[in-house]
Structure formats: C-alpha cells, structure tokens
C-alpha cells in the first residue's frame, strides 16, 4: 500500500511537470521566432546588398564598418551578426559595469554561441527574457529597413532632379537643331479668283 506522503510527492511532481510545459512551449516558440528573424535578415541582405547592410549596421550601432566585417568574416551569417549586435547593445545598456563596450558584450555572446547554446539559453544566462529580446531585435530590423528606405528616397530625389535637368537640356538642343517647321511648311498662295463679268443692263420696257 502506497503511503500518503509518497502519493502527495508524486502528485506534486506531476503538477510541476504540467506547469512547466507552457513555459517550455513558449520558450521553444520564441526560439523559433528568433531563428525566423535570422533567416528574414539574411533575405533582406540579399535584396539590399552586403555593403549597404554594413553601412546600416554601422550607423545604427555606432561601429566602424571594418568591425562589422570582422564579425561576418568569422563565418557568421548576416542574420546572426544582426541579432548578436542587437543583443550586445542591450547587454551594454543593462550591465555597463561588466560590459562597458559593444565589443566586450559581443565577445561574451560569441563564447556562448560557440558552446552551442541557443538564443533562449543565452538570454537566460545573461538575465534577459527572450520575449522582450525578440521585440528589441525586431525593432532593430525595422530601423534598418527605415534607414534603407530613407536612403533610397534621398537617392531617388537626386536622380529625378538629374533626369529633369538632362531632359531639359535635351529638349533645348532638339529645338535648336530643328527648323521652325519649314517656315510653317510654306503654304502655297491661293490663286486669285477671276473677276466676275459685269451683268448687261436690262433694256427698258417699251411703253405701249
């Protein structure tokens, strides 16, 4: 016969496992979202080009482009680099004593990634919740897209002005080279109408 304390212990363990399942499921879902954003960033870089992405990251995180290229040359994808930078930026703001610079934070994150840890495990070890971290990464991605859109608008306006100026110059040259429609095509003069002959006078009626 099972004693009551043992039954109570089994029930408590079962309840603990059941309670932990939602948290575990949420953690797995957050990890999946992080991986999806990582792939999404990789696709964005294919569209905008690597050099442009380096410029945008350099502007957002206040890092030289050469430093960002070092991260990329370490075998990391652009999605990985972007997420690491966003996480390192958050780490320098929440723990500036231990991580006074972005490079120091990057080094710590790189060590954890090299150990094979996922984003959820890393954020937990660094004292973050993965949910808010996902929001921060998403914000960084949106900022990159906004900066890219603004740069494209600025470049587009410059190109439009150049096109207008080139078009205006072209029209002027074309008008200068084109004769004035051959003097309105030199319409032939209309022949003069022949004069009408005078009508003969009517004879007066003879009075009877």
Q: Give residue limits of the domains in the chain.
A: 29-173
* Element housing 72 (H / E): helix 65-73
Residue 190: its pLDDT value, please?
66
User: Quick check: helix, strand or coil at residue 195?
Assistant: coil
Which of the two residues, 190 and 40, has the higher pLDDT score?
A: 40
The beta-strand segments (E) located in the chain are none
Residue 14: its pLDDT value, please?
47
- Cα-based distances in Å from 47 to 51, 52, 53: 11, 10, 10
CB 58 within 8 A of CB 64: yes
Residue 29: its pLDDT value, please?
82
| Chain Cα centroid distance, residue 139 | 12
| Chain Cα centroid distance, residue 134 | 18
pTM as predicted: 0.59
Residue 26 has pLDDT above 70, yes or no: no
| C-alpha span between 42 and 67 (Å, rounded) | 19
Query: Taking every pair of C-alpha atoms in the chain, what is the biggest distance, in angstroms?
Result: 168
- Cα-based distances in Å from 70 to 11, 64, 148: 53, 10, 22
CB 90 within 8 A of CB 123: no
Q: Cβ contacts of residue 151 below 8 Å, gap of 6+?
A: 52
Residue 134 has pLDDT above 90, yes or no: no
Both tokens of 58, joined, read 């350099």
Which residue reads 């500036």 in tokens? 96
Pick from 77, 74, 111: which is nearest to 91 by CA?
A: 111
Both tokens of 135, joined, read 């929001």
Residue 194: its pLDDT value, please?
64
For 27-42, the pLDDT digits (tens) are 678 788 888 888 988 9
Residue 102 has pLDDT above 80, yes or no: yes
Angle between helices 4-48 and 50-61 (to 10 degrees): 120
Burial of 104 (0-12, 13-18, 19+ CB in 10 A): middle
pLDDT band per the 50, 70, 90 thresholds, residue 201: low
């Amino acid at each position: 016969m099972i004693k009551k304390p043992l039954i109570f212990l089994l029930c408590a363990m079962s309840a603990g496992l059941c309670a932990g399942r939602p948290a575990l499921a949420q953690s797995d879902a957050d990890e999946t979202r992080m991986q999806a954003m990582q792939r999404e960033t990789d696709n964005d870089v294919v569209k905008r080009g690597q050099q442009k992405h380096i410029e945008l990251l350099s502007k957002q995180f206040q890092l030289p482009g050469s430093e960002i290229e070092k991260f990329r040359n370490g075998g990391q994808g652009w999605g990985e680099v972007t997420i690491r930078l966003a996480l390192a930026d958050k780490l320098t703001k929440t723990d500036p004593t231990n991580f006074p610079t972005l490079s120091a934070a990057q080094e710590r994150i790189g060590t954890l990634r090299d150990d094979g840890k996922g984003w959820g495990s890393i954020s937990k070890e660094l004292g973050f919740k993965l949910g808010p971290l996902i929001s921060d990464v998403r914000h960084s991605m949106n900022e990159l897209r906004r900066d890219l859109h603004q740069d494209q608008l600025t470049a587009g306006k410059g190109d439009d002005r150049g096109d207008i100026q080139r078009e205006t110059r072209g029209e002027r040259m074309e008008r200068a080279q084109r004769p004035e429609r051959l003097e309105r095509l030199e319409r032939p003069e209309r022949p003069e109408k022949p004069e009408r002959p005078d009508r003969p006078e009517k004879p007066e009626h003879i009075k009877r």
